[in-house]
Amino acid sequence: MKPNHLIEYYVGIDIGGTNTKIGIVDNHCNILIEHSIKTLSSQGAKQTFSRIWQTVQDMAKTQNIATDQLIGIGLGIPGLVVNQAIISRASNFSWGDNFNAKQLMEEISHKFVKVEKDVNNIALGELLFGSGQGFNNIIVISIGTGLSAGIIIDQKILSGVNGCAGEFGHIVVNENGLKCGCGLTGCLETYASATGILRETKRLILEKQTGILSKHFYHHLSDLEVHHIFDFYNKNDDIAIEVIEKFCKYLAYGLGILLNTIDPELVIFAGGVSKSADLIIQKVKTYLSRYALSASLANIQMKPGQLLDSAGIKGAASLIINDYRI
């Protein structure tokens, strides 16, 4: 066994629009310490990155970890990343297009840094340390405010030339639909996302005013959260059933296209809605045969993610750990 001061650690950072999660992990991706700070991106990238690095150093100190023992830093961001370095577009931040996040963080920390889209990190994390262990070709579906996929081919992240790979939430399903934040109209994620589920449920509550979900939330619409809808689905509420069925049908449509074009071994459901992954998987399966070739469905496996709330940190750290795997 190595003496303590020679053990190597990795930093995983999940930068969100509001909060940034920071973790220090060992080479098995066990989190030794984690911390959440405000991102405050409007102060500028240099400010934010410096504050993050200061936090990492403080965290390391509490664990008696020397800075030298930190091998590298993985960054995850909700935006398009090119060459695991350049944030080409990230609507949550005002850091400009084609911002070299790797370079800035390396200048500040003097550590090796890699940057990826958050869902891609989660996919790598699930592959190495979660539900994807033992697989080579997986897709991780992240359902949250949006809908996107992290694609792993031959154990490698498919980022895409412009960082757009896996953006299946922007399959246009209704040309007369809602304007999407991406600039397109009627994107899949306007239906198949936490945001989409909430919007549709609120609409139906106001329109139908029937059932127990309506009764609970008609006068408190702003209190409605996605987990309530899944709860009331299990209580056979008509509105909840209508919303969840439609959501799963749309999700199956998008997933069917991914199966026909990428043809992986395993699909993992992650993100905020993944707490209901078992139900979603069961429902999605019933619709998938309409949209996916029978050959691509024949051996497909579907699982909930294992990394759950740690997925962001563990995924980001995986970016670095992966380079040091034997």
CB of 120 to its own copies, least distance (A): 12
Long-range contacts of 37-43 (CB under 8 A, 24+ apart): 39/15, 41/15, 41/17, 41/92, 41/93, 41/94, 41/95, 42/94
Binds its own copies (CB under 8 A): choice among 74, 166, 196, 271: 166
> Quick one: tokens of 289?
């045969």
Binds its own copies (CB under 8 A): choice among 160, 177, 181, 272: 160
Binds its own copies (CB under 8 A): choice among 163, 211, 304, 312: 163
How many residues touch its own copies under the rule CB under 8 A: the total is 47
| Residue 40: C-alpha distances to residues 18, 119, 178, 191, 279 (Å) | 7, 21, 30, 30, 36
Q: What are phi and psi of 56, to 5 degrees?
A: -60, -45
CB of 284 to its own copies, least distance (A): 15
CB of 259 to its own copies, least distance (A): 7
Element (H, E) at 19: strand 19-25
Residue 202 or 246: the one with the smaller Cβ distance to its own copies is: 246
Name the residue type at position 66.
Answer: A
Residues 240-299 that bind its own copies (CB under 8 A): 253, 256-265, 290-291, 293-296, 298-299
Residue 20 or 137: the one with the smaller Cβ distance to its own copies is: 137
182 is an interface residue for its own copies by CB under 8 A: yes
Q: Residue 147 and residue 166: Cα distance in Å, rounded?
A: 9
> Quick one: tokens of 191?
């239906």
Binds its own copies (CB under 8 A): choice among 102, 114, 170, 283: 170
Binds its own copies (CB under 8 A): choice among 22, 48, 75, 89: 89
Residue 173 or 279: the one with the smaller Cβ distance to its own copies is: 173
78 is an interface residue for its own copies by CB under 8 A: no
141 is an interface residue for its own copies by CB under 8 A: no
**Closest CA relative to residue 273, chosen from 317, 230, 322:** 230
172 is an interface residue for its own copies by CB under 8 A: yes
Instruction: With H, G, I as helix, E, B as strand and everything else as coil, classify residue 57.
Output: helix
CB of 216 to its own copies, least distance (A): 34
CB of 159 to its own copies, least distance (A): 8
**Closest CA relative to residue 25, chosen from 312, 261, 234, 231:** 312
Q: Residue 33 and residue 15: Cα distance in Å, rounded?
A: 17
Residues making contact with its own copies (CB under 8 A)? 80, 88-89, 137, 149, 151, 153-154, 156, 158-168, 170-172, 175, 182-185, 253, 256-265, 290-291, 293-296, 298-299
